[in-house]
Amino acid sequence: MLAAEPAANADGKGSRATTILMTPALTNAGERAATERAAKIKLLLMDVDGVLTDGKVYFLPSADGGVTELKTFDCQDGIALQWCKWKGIRTGVISGRKSFSTEQRVLQAHMDYNYQGFIEKIPIIEEIMADAAVTSDEIAFIGDDLTDVVVFHRVGLAIAVGNARPEVKGEAHYVTPSSGGSGAVRDAVEFIFKARGLWQEILDKYEIRGAV
């Protein structure tokens, strides 16, 4: 699902308050605009809870009488993150929660940036942007809740997961068909790859023929 571009104010600047959601069938202009944004992406960042996961956190009793935190991750998201590594698109997470499960996911998916325990995400975005030597237009961010919207306003491609809050979807340039923790990251990566002309290379690698 694609979101319409913000309408212009009298000063010519976009106003995200007027953004509405439309399907691709309803707005070719919205599709073109989102695709043009996606074609520039060199860095894909994301929240963790509700994006890489379904938002649920499980606490299991441990032998020492404490609890162990458990999160689940989607395998299709994982392979998509590895494709990003192969094609030179850097990836990373910015999360307000610290989690050993997230640490392991970042390592296994070969992600470049792992920022956990940071409530204020804007300084982290700026730090990563400087390290990666990219502009804001070359960054995509995937979010699901209200705290992610401030980041949406500072990146080139704002992506909301399929089960994000309505207000978050209204601020996004692209809304994934899948929910967080159930293939939303895969949807985002495929969208970016197709816009950048990289998708056919992935299909060729796996000998996929006759794909639409």
What are the tokens at 74? 């989607």
Q: How far apart are CA 63 and CA 206, in angstroms?
A: 44
Q: How far apart are CA 95 and CA 116, in angstroms?
A: 5
* DSSP reduced 3-state for 47: coil
- Domain extents for the chain? 41-203
pTM of the model: 0.86
Q: How far is CA 156 from the centre of its chain?
A: 12
65 Ramachandran zone, left/alpha/beta (phi>0; psi -120 to 50): left
User: What CATH number does the domain located at 41-203 have?
Assistant: 3.40.50.1000
Q: Would you write out the chain's pLDDT as a tens digit for each of its 212 residues?
A: 666 554 444 444 444 443 434 444 446 788 899 999 999 999 999 999 999 999 999 999 988 989 988 999 999 999 999 999 999 999 999 999 999 999 999 999 999 999 999 989 999 999 999 999 999 999 999 999 999 999 999 999 999 999 999 999 999 999 999 999 999 999 999 999 999 999 999 999 999 987 65
